[in-house]
Amino acid sequence: MTDFNPAHARLFPEQGLSLGLMTPVAAHGLADLLEARRVARLADDLGFAALWTRDVPLMVPQGPDATASALDDPFLWLGMLAAATERIVIGTAAIVLPLRQPLQVAKSVLTLDRISGGRFVLGLGSGDRPEEFAAFGEDLQGRAGTFRERWSLLRAALSPEPSERAPVLQATGGYDVLPTPARRIPMLVVGTARQSLQWIAREAEGWATYHREETAQEGRIGLWQQALAQVADGPDGGLAALSTSMVVVGSQLGFLWRTPALHRDQALKQRSDAMQDATLAVLRRAQERGVLDPGAPDWWLLDTFFSLIYVAAESVADGELAPNDAPGLVTRTFLRGIGAPAQALPHPLGGPEHE
């Protein structure tokens, strides 16, 4: 696969987190352009990873104080910030795709990526304001399907891979929007865009979710990592990848077990059920691949796996187990137990095995 543009490595470092700013910063009404460029240069000099902006097509009053946001066109705005900076990533969070013509979006994206020197990241959402959908003549209730259709065409238009460009060439009668880019431009889903996490993990380079309290956010991260494990789907059906993702949130499993009254909270119960369903899907796939006993019941698979995850997470927190060793230990123990290899075990009755 073709490499990503430089924005990808800056936004997704191998270790740690990246930190960006939503722009315009602290603006009331239309932003001051001189101040916006000054803040952008300062963020660039201070080492911030990215400058983001929103797509707000209409000034529709929102919130308890009925505030209407006045934001410039996101692509033109980011073009200004790109010209004022040298290193920092510029990105949309998010373009309301069901309200946009995907070929026009592709033209803007390819142009921005070119003039910024490969510093652009495209975040896309589904939108939710009835007034905007009515004004643009789009179907609010059908926006999930519209998002998927336009995503596919946009992905093809932005792809550097000839094998992936057929949809855009078919849509245009064989014409390109611009010359094929040399590198892939990262595409993110912002919010859920009314798609499953598995769809997002399969189709996008990342998922941008909203701010929540720490415990709730950890749960969302856990669900995302499970979705990544499901779509990774190696020879073990994604089991090893699932172990890696689950150890991070393993301590929360004990919290849920120790406080069964929390299941009276329907929102929490739904998240817990979603986590179990996603985990069970991977475990069943491992059964189908012959990695796990096909006769083991679902409840036993889940309880055994979650128990190992919880113990591993607690051991990491206590300093008894290295974080990098925990996923492998969980996977090995889940698959083979903690006994000696089968051929070295004496028969439990001291004689030949019973028929």
pLDDT in tens, 21-56: 999 998 788 999 999 999 999 999 999 999 999 999
Q: Exposed, middle or buried: residue 111 (CB in 10 Å: 0-12, 13-18, 19+)?
A: middle
Whole-number pLDDT of residue 183: 96
Q: Of 230, 236, 190, nearest to 209 (Cα)?
A: 190
Whether 255 and 317 share a structural domain: yes
DSSP 349: T
Question: 């006769």: which residue's tokens?
Answer: 295
The CATH code of the domain that includes 189 is 3.20.20.30
In a domain, 115, yes or no: yes
First-to-last alpha carbon distance for the chain, in angstroms, is 53
Residue 152's CB is within 10 A of a number of other CB atoms, namely 15
In a domain, 355, yes or no: no
Whether 177 and 52 share a structural domain: yes
State yes or no: pLDDT of 340 exceeds 80. Answer: no
62 to 66, 67, 69, 210: CA distances (angstroms): 5, 5, 8, 17
Task: Give the end of a domain, one of 210, 235, 251.
Answer: 210
Whole-number pLDDT of residue 271: 63
Between helices 239-247 and 266-288, what is the axis angle to 10°?
150
In a domain, 262, yes or no: yes
In a domain, 298, yes or no: yes
Task: Give the end of a domain, one of 145, 180, 210.
Answer: 210
Whether 200 and 266 share a structural domain: no
Q: Quote the distance between the C-alpha of residue 176 and its chain's center.
A: 29
Whether 232 and 194 share a structural domain: no
* pLDDT tens per residue, range 118-144: 999 999 999 999 999 999 999 999 999
Whole-number pLDDT of residue 286: 84
* pLDDT tens per residue, range 215-263: 888 888 888 888 887 777 666 777 777 777 677 666 555 545 545 555 5
In a domain, 345, yes or no: no
Average pLDDT of the chain, as a whole number: 86
Whether 59 and 192 share a structural domain: yes
Whether 95 and 44 share a structural domain: yes
Whole-number pLDDT of residue 260: 56
Whole-number pLDDT of residue 347: 41
Whether 176 and 232 share a structural domain: no
Whether 197 and 229 share a structural domain: no
Residue 32 gets the label, from left (phi > 0), alpha (psi -120 to 50) or beta, of beta
* pLDDT tens per residue, range 275-304: 777 788 888 888 888 888 989 999 899 889
In a domain, 23, yes or no: yes
* pLDDT tens per residue, range 70-104: 999 999 999 999 999 999 999 999 999 999 999 99
Four-point Cα dihedral 44, 52, 38, 32, nearest 10: 180
In a domain, 198, yes or no: yes
Q: Of 202, 177, 215, 7, nearest to 92 (Cα)?
A: 7
Range of the domain at 151: 6-210
Between helices 74-84 and 33-46, what is the axis angle to 10°?
60
Whole-number pLDDT of residue 179: 95
Whether 84 and 156 share a structural domain: yes
Q: Which helix (H) or strand (E) holds 121?
A: strand 120-125
Task: Give the end of a domain, one of 177, 210, 243.
Answer: 210
Whether 68 and 162 share a structural domain: yes
Paired with 51 in beta bridges are: 21, 90
DSSP 344: G
Whole-number pLDDT of residue 89: 98
Instruction: List, in sequence order, the alpha helices (H) in the chain.
Output: 6-11, 33-46, 74-84, 102-115, 130-136, 143-158, 166-172, 197-203, 214-232, 239-247, 250-258, 266-288, 298-317, 326-336
Between helices 74-84 and 102-115, what is the axis angle to 10°?
10
Tokens read off for 144: 């999930």
Whole-number pLDDT of residue 261: 58
In a domain, 275, yes or no: yes
Look at the chain and report how many structural domains it folds into. Answer: 2
Whether 97 and 176 share a structural domain: yes
Q: Does the global pTM surpass 0.85?
A: no
Whether 173 and 228 share a structural domain: no
